[in-house]
């Protein structure tokens, strides 16, 4: 029993190592890491309410990381994972940019809030880059079918 658990854990670790080396895996791992850093900064700030964006985006990034790493997107066909990931990344970019600008502009005297805002601006750029790469994937895989040109009625 312990041998099978160890082999399953080793297989999962190998999938993790392999997926982090891909471009999408690296982007998702960076999103998780920067969201965690932002969460720490906002938690140390006088106004901890901005941490909700970091928590939500980190949880969503972890979910998509696990789904893509374990290749569950191929077995769970109910959800269109590419479009869901695009919407997640686009909303994350917008939310991080908006909340970060608010924190940087209005955070005088609160260094942790300003640091969280600066990291949030970087996260907004990272999430926007992720949305852009997903958009390119959608654009390249889109099928172009010719419209019928038959004039018969």
What does the pLDDT look like over 14-55, one tens digit per residue? 888 888 999 999 999 999 999 999 999 999 998 878 899 999
Give the per-residue pLDDT at 29: 96
**pLDDT score, position 145:** 55
The whole-number pLDDT of residue 141 equals: 86
Q: From CA 26, how far away is CA 5, in angstroms rounded?
A: 27
Dihedral in degrees, nearest 10, Cα atoms 148, 150, 151, 153: -90
DSSP state of 108: T
Q: What confidence tens digit (pLDDT) does each residue in 85-133 have?
A: 999 999 999 999 999 999 999 878 889 999 999 999 999 999 999 999 9
106's tokens: 């209005």
pTM of structure: 0.85
Q: Are 92 and 60 within 8 A, CB to CB? A: yes
């Amino acid at each position: 029993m312990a041998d099978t658990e160890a082999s399953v854990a080793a297989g999962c670790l190998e999938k993790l190592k392999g997926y982090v080396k891909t471009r999408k895996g690296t982007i998702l791992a960076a999103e998780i890491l920067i969201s965690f850093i932002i969460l720490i900064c906002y938690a140390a700030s006088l106004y901890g309410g901005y941490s909700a964006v970091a928590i939500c985006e980190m949880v969503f990034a972890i979910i998509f990381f696990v789904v893509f790493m374990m290749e569950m997107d191929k077995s769970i066909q109910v959800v269109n994972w590419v479009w869901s990931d695009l919407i997640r990344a686009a909303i994350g970019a917008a939310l991080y940019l908006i909340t970060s600008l608010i924190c940087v502009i209005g955070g005088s005297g609160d260094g942790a809030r300003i640091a969280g805002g600066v990291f949030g601006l970087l996260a907004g750029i990272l999430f926007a880059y992720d949305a852009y790469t997903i958009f390119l994937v959608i654009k390249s895989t889109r099928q172009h079918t010719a419209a019928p040109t038959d004039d018969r009625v």
